[in-house]
Structure 1
């Protein structure tokens, strides 16, 4: 059973609206169509794909662990970050600075690709990857 491409990742933020605003206003994702799932949330689109799902408050039920309730597992490991392909390195820098978002940059050894690292309102790491020609500009 081979796996296909990553379809989305889901965050259960402590502040649904602030997290939606971060991903849309800061990173440029688009708030789009979401089925009526019976609880608040957003599907945020990147390149026409609902890449980031945000969960609002839900009622606990079998198989569903809800923020603030007992965890199903003692330790599920540490989620470090999610990465997006990006373009317009100078424009992204300017946008982040104008919104007073802290970030760090690096150039990947050997490949020469540029990267920006930042955090969403809940501390989820976000990596933006730019092609090598943008790192040289």
Structure 2
């Protein structure tokens, strides 16, 4: 067996529409085909790949397992992303990764999942 890459992440949500709004309207993923499962949810795509699955209708764990610390996405257009996060009142932490100089932006989805967005080093520092 050889791993070829990451297929997708699945997040649990208390409110499907709120989660979809965050990942679609704020982060720019697109909703696409999802098989007719017996439980509610959505598959969100980057290009032709369903990279994020949202599941609802399942109780949120009282104590999250905490095995996955965060999910990270390669992104572009740092200024537009910062502007969108501000427009939606979403707090974020932005810094340069020493050594690589890429921009790393961290925020949380509506249910508290930590999201990392990695932007190329050649993008200018956003106007705050």
Q: TM-score, normalised by structure 1?
A: 0.83
Alignment partner of 1:116 is 2:101:
no
**Which residue of structure 1 lines up, in the alignment, with residue 118 of structure 2?**
129
Two-structure CA RMSD over aligned residues (Å): 2.1
The 1:105/1:76 distance shift into structure 2, 3 A limit, reads same
Q: Within 2, Cα distance between the matches of 1:136 and 1:20?
A: 28
TM normalised by structure 2 equals 0.89
C-alpha distance in 1 between matches for 2:11 and 2:32:
16
- The reply on whether 1:67 has 2:59 as its aligned counterpart is yes
Counting matched residue pairs gives: 126
- Structure having the higher Rg: 1
Establish whether residue 30 from structure 1 lines up as the match of residue 30 from structure 2. Answer: yes
The answer as to whether partners of 2:92 and 2:106 remain within 8 angstroms in 1 is: yes
Displacement of 1:48 after TM fit?
Answer: 1.7
Contact map agreement 1:107 1:135 (CA 8 A) in 2? no
Q: Is the 8 A contact 1:113 1:135 kept in 2?
A: no
**Distance (whole Å) between structure 2 residues aligned to residue 96 and residue 75 of structure 1:** 26
Q: Which residue of 2 aligns with 1:99?
A: 88
Q: 1:12 to 1:33 in 2, by over 3 A?
A: same
Q: Which consecutive unaligned segments of at least 5 residues does structure 2 have?
A: none
Query: Structure 1 regions of 5+ residues with no counterpart?
Result: 58-65
